[in-house]
Structure 1
Amino acid sequence: MLKQFFIICSGADTDILEQCSKGEQNKYAGIGATVFFTAVMATIAASYALFTVFDSLYSAILFGLIWGLLIFNLDRYIVSTIKKNGNFTDELIQAAPRIILALIIAIVISKPLELKIFEKEINQVLLEEKNALTLSNKNQIAQQFTPKIEALNRNIDSLQSQINRKEADVNALYNVYINEAEGTAGTKRLGKGPVYKEKRDKHDAALADLQQLKTENKAKIETIEAQIAQAEIDYANQVTTSQPIIDNFDGLMARVNALNKLPWLPSFFIFLLFLAIETSPIFAKLLSPRGAYDFKLEDQEMALKTNVLKNKNERNLIIETETALNNRIYNDIKSEDELYKYKRQKAQELMRLQADAFYKKQKHIL
């Protein structure tokens, strides 16, 4: 039962193969088994590749089965259409397009399995890329907020500088009226005279202005600090919002690019393995000697071809004979007077009928 299934997978004519030896049947069963297991590997590879895309097990399995059936059909067609004619060069030329197709299929099959085999190494590469993307993303977002925050900080510094300058002025006025009271400066009279009072009043007025300036600038600084805090919150929100996009940067294309950054030799050997698997049925058939199945198949095809050519020649002869007979018959009757008179009479009758119909139509119109 299993042998019969693999023979069907090989694309061989089972009716002809039943007439061949067991060895010939086993050869095509082996070719069919290679075709079948290649399709199984294609199903597994495609399912994994699609799972990385859709993140759905059932969808990946469904499309993987469809892809496996497609590869199975292509391989079966490739093997079944290679005809053994005893000339290896002609057979190789005949198989060249199929080998190219097998090369493409091997690339498609091997790549998803390479992604799975080197998954840990790919994850490491993706982690490094994600970290770099995270830093780059933070820097890019920071470039949107840094100028605004720096401008607000400069405003705070400016307001604080106003307070500092006013405090310096108040302290200077304080020293002036104290020195006046002590008699160390100004009028140099000890005691609190009119000049002292004047300077004290000036200091008190400046101190009141300082208190008012502090109150006003403090309110302004608090407003600006609130704007800075809001800008920092907005920055953090943008970083948090964009981070899941970076975290999900592990799709199929990202993994393929990460795989290309790894050493190429291991991937190349895996590709060679699948190329050998994919092309093995073709080369097995090319390198195997012509067997009983090939001779019987060629004999059947030649018999059919001969019969078709025979029928075609017979139809051509029938057409030529009918043409010659018809030409001879019409050449004989074209000179007969009786046929001329009969056709002349019918033509006259037809013209009379046309004239009568035209007359009735014109009379009806008038």
Structure 2
Amino acid sequence: MEFRDLKAQYIKYKTQIDSGIQEVLDNTNFIGGKEIKSLEQRLAEYVGVKHCITCANGTEAMTLIMMAWDIKEGDAVFVPDFTFFSTGEIVSFSGATPIFVDVDRDTFNIDTVKLDRAINKVLEEGKLTPKVIIPVDLFGLPADHIEIERIAKKYNLKVLEDGAQGFGGSINGKKACSFGDAATTSFFPAKPLGCYGDGGAIFTDDDELTELLNSLKVHGKGDNKYDNVRIGVNSRLDSIQAAILNVKLTAFINHELEDVNRIYNVYTEKLKDVVETPVIPKGYISSFAQYTIKLKNKEERDGLQAKLKEDGIPSMIYYVKPMHRQGAFDEHYYNDSDFKVTNELCDTVLSLPMHPYLRNQDVERVFNSIKKFK
């Protein structure tokens, strides 16, 4: 059993994927080929925004936004404490200070009450200037973007939606990656929509921001790549990855999002009386980058993971260490007592195999292993 079965997906769409790659090879337009423009148009249309700007990976997508918004030393950027390292990393990389915020125990996403409190605390201390909120759509579930946008307007802050895990999710029909002033996603292979290497994208309705990002991602180009009007970076998605993504986007739209939610329902029906299962609020749809359960304590979690491994079932722990305890952020002071939920989650969460090609008998096998352990 695979944790996320990319091979099954490839076998199903092998003819289309191979054909798309071969067309790029035949045309030899490896950078900036027609596949890029087609993908950007399709992604923007699917998400429901005016612009999609592809780039090298999800981390650089966020970095480009920090550059475009001129986030720098002395600025405060608010990030959930329970997430992957890159969301905080790009803040420090810009010279700004990441302010970590505890998360909601049910959704795993940033706690909006604690977010409001954290912004007020920074304002009262007067050492930093609050600038940006980066909510993360963790495990495929969109954050509480309605309340986050209300808070952002209250304090005149920008919002960057980190949709690296959330592509395909939605709130009352509004798609992930369409919230905030800009949004980013990742095409890392294991993501809901992944390529066969690294890749990322930025989404926005802002025409001026789009123009600036298209310059920044190609060495700060002006009219052409040899007319450089600002300092930028080299961050482009290549044509082969775009060709792969064009095939996989069609599959994602046609059936994968629906299939992964069907698997979610099968899992939850079997496990709901055995362990704590994912909570999906009313009106929300998750794209289930991960299906994450909670155990009673670290000992039980680690014991179950060992049992699953013994039974040939892969599992993962996202995340074993909270952001505020990462050594890379040691220069900043964080009070451990401000992160009670995150600290608990790091000791109790376990992610089970989850992907659109998981079979009912696979879920049954996972369930039986958990039931025997419990």
Structures share a fold, TM > 0.5? no
TM range (shorter): under 0.3
Structure 1 length-normalised TM: 0.22
Q: Hey, which of these two has a bigger chunk of helix by percent?
A: 1
The structure with the larger Rg is: 1
